[in-house]
Amino acid sequence: MPELPEVETIKRGLAPFIKGKKILEVEMLRPKLIKGMSPSIFAKKVKGDTILGIERRAKYLLVPLKSGNTLIFHLGMTGALLKSVHKKPLSKTGEEAQKYIRISGNVILDFSDLRLFGKIWLVPSKKVLEQKEIKKLGVEPFSKAFTLDWFTKELAKRKTKIKLLIMDQAFVVGVGNIYANEVLYRAGIHPARPANKITPKEAKKLHHEIIDVLSDAIKHGGSSVDNYVDAEGGEGTYGKLHKVYDRKGEPCTKCRGVVQKISLGQRGTYFCPKCQK
């Protein structure tokens, strides 16, 4: 599933391309992706509207419209939101587009999702924060609310294994399986450690690495380890810099120990048993 760096990369790629553009046409080849209203009503409401910009909340993309409505996109596990200048959308993921929006300038916003786990909503902009999927989200790691003091106090309250906690979208948003592995490796913390057993010194390091790893991943356009591509169909390069994720049996880059893999919360978890305690 695309995590915060991938969704942020897509947002930045689309922003100059769609802002201020008028929606001329909507075509849906997979109507089931539309949630909360019938596809025909969705198309009618969106057609003729103007895009004001694009924002990100956790792993969701929010596209406010001049009408006072907002498009909400969730990419699911294999979704892609692509821009093109073709009369018909060409998905660079190799899949037929499931939905596209033609906007002024003869450009296409193409939503393609191989496994059809993606979702699209159209809601009044003033009610976006009340949307159940948005309302339950936790703190943004780049926000002023993500302070070291808050983070340290919250860890002390919880017995949850630390990897599962930092992946909990109701706690801190955007850290999925890939980056949880990388963050904990750089912080030197074993993924199965209970959160309340982490010292204040370790919490400070962990807090720093959450921000640092996500920032580094954004700089490299995210990690293309599965189907993820950016808004132009290109692959992110951060996967080449992974220290532990998907490196079972390979040498640790710090101590030359061997990277191991276990399962936590039914997710593959990679770590160095020598460096992470």
Is 8 tagged catalytic?
Answer: no
* CA separation for the pair 183, 205 (Å, rounded): 10
Sheet arrangement for strand 23-28: 23-28, 99-103, 107-113, 79-84
Strands (E) located in 51-106: 55-57, 60-64, 69-74, 79-84, 99-103
Rounded Cα gap, residues 165 and 57, in angstroms: 19
- Catalytic annotation on 256? no
Residue 267 appears among annotated catalytic residues: yes
Q: Number of C-alpha atoms within 13 angstroms, CB side, residue 128?
A: 19
Catalytic residue among 11, 56, 57, 59: 59
Distance between CA atoms of 150 and 147, rounded to whole angstroms? Answer: 5
Kindly name the residue from 47, 254, 261, 267 that is annotated as catalytic: 267
Inter-CA distances, 39 with 26, 42, 120, 197, Å:
10, 5, 10, 50
Q: Which of 3, 182, 202, 209 is catalytic?
A: 3
**How far is 179 from 181, CA to CA, in rounded Å?**
5
Enzyme catalytic residues: 2-3, 59, 267
